[in-house]
Amino acid sequence: MKLFRATAAGMLFAAITLGVADLAAAEEETPVPGRWPLEKARAWYAKQPWLVGCNYIPANAINQLEMWQADTFDPEIIDKELAWAEELGFNTLRVYLHDLVWGDDADGLYQRMDKFLDICDQRGIRVLFVFFDDCHRPDPKLGKQPPPVRGFHNSGWAKCPATEVVIRYHEKTASPEEVARLRGYVVETMRRFKDDPRVLAWELYNEPGRSAGERSVKLLRDAWKWAREAAPSQPVCSTAEGSAGKEYVEIARANSDVISFHCYDDSKLEEIIDFYEKTGRPALCTEYMARPKSTFQRALPILKKHNVAAINWGFVSGKTGTVWPWSSRNGKDVYQLREQGVIVKPGEPFPEPKTWFHDIYRTDKTPYDPAEAELIRRLTGKK
């Protein structure tokens, strides 16, 4: 079985700051007890089909809170969109949760997760759930979520937890209630679904370091302790390549049962695969495809050739606005633009650039590029 490769030179895509010298100088990380032995990880991966799919959020949700809160959770739209995923041959989704939704109503969240997993199961799809995330807006709040800003990449995506909570946790000034929420969110959720065959795997932290630099380390380390305490039957990981700092990469490599890496530069992809193939531990490409540097036409055949899980960013163009590039945010104040009314109003079509950055379909199911959809179906055997 071919696994994954990654030299230090090809580690990080354009937006990642970690360099070759940093990786070479990184010290060996001490793992938290409980990591799967290499043989167990390889045996687990050998039983899987080629894992292929996307990072998923429905088009009518601007962030994780809007996807999972009771008032806006929409199984009908989810089922409609996942029917399209099934037709493409997708069998895997990477899906983000949020600690505030759990803290507000854990039982209600679990009921909605069950419903979501049922929809996925009916479509032959399994889910990799993500707990924490250091990307984008620092100040998540429960309740009605803001409207999307026109032409702005991820104008409402919410960090998890809030940046100020990450900092307080690092400084050991977080309230007992905050600490209990963060720990319970991981431990109790894993225990609730620890033997659920609909759950493929768990990712503790997406791209740590982007919220508060090195101050995310304590939360990540403790999340690993909580995960081992919960002891799910599914593998656990945190983001390696894609994180903002060498320490986060090393923590992920030392602890992950299977590796989660990101690559948004196709010229680096085989180097990353090379590295993990040499270590022998299975790795999942949990983010790729950001046109024009990363495309289905270049990346997907490589990932299939090496039997590497292929989970691209985005599916249906919607409120997240991820058809727009990262550069669409440069020099702009998302809060000011929203106050000025530069928003997509309810019922308006979502604006799109000539060249999409992420995503595959419009909300009417027309693909951005029919040739891409045809390629995906051919490689998944759905043609």
Contact call for residues 305 and 350 (beta carbons, < 8 A):
no
What is the pLDDT confidence band of residue 191, given thresholds at 50, 70 and 90? very high
pLDDT value at residue 29: 81
Reported as a single tens digit per residue, the pLDDT across 197-236 is 999 999 999 999 998 899 999 999 999 999 999 999 999 9
Please report the pLDDT score of residue 22 as a whole number: 39
> Per-residue pLDDT for 265 more than 60?
yes
> Mean pLDDT score of the chain, rounded to an integer?
93
The confidence score (pLDDT) of residue 17 equals 35
Domains of the chain, residue spans: 8-380
The stretch 346-352 carries a mean pLDDT of 95
Beta bridge partners of 92: 53, 126
* Edge-to-edge order in the sheet of strand 126-133: 236-237, 199-206, 126-133, 92-96, 52-55, 309-313, 283-287, 259-262
Please check the confidence at residue 26 and state whether its pLDDT lies above 90.
Answer: no
Express each pLDDT in 289-340 by its tens digit: 999 999 999 999 999 999 999 999 999 999 999 999 999 999 999 999 999 9
Instruction: List C-alpha distances in Å: 104 to 110, 181, 206, 320.
Output: 12, 10, 22, 23
How many angstroms separate the Cα of 246 from the Cα of each of 11, 113, 182, 242, 252? 10, 33, 24, 10, 10
Q: Give the whole-angstrom CA distance, residue 39 versus residue 229.
A: 21
Report residue 13's pLDDT band, with 50, 70 and 90 as the boundaries.
very low
Distance CA 15, CA 262 (A): 11
pLDDT band, very low/low/confident/very high, at 383 (cuts 50, 70, 90): confident
- CATH 3.20.20.80 given to domain 8-380: yes
Sign, Cα dihedral of 312, 213, 232, 57: negative
Residues 259, 13, 359, 65: what is their CA dihedral angle, to the nearest 10 degrees?
A: 60
Give the relative orientation of helices 246-255 and 217-230 as an angle to the nearest 10 degrees: 10
pLDDT mean over 163-173:
98
Sign of the CA dihedral 178, 182, 188, 189? positive
Question: pTM of this prediction?
Answer: 0.93
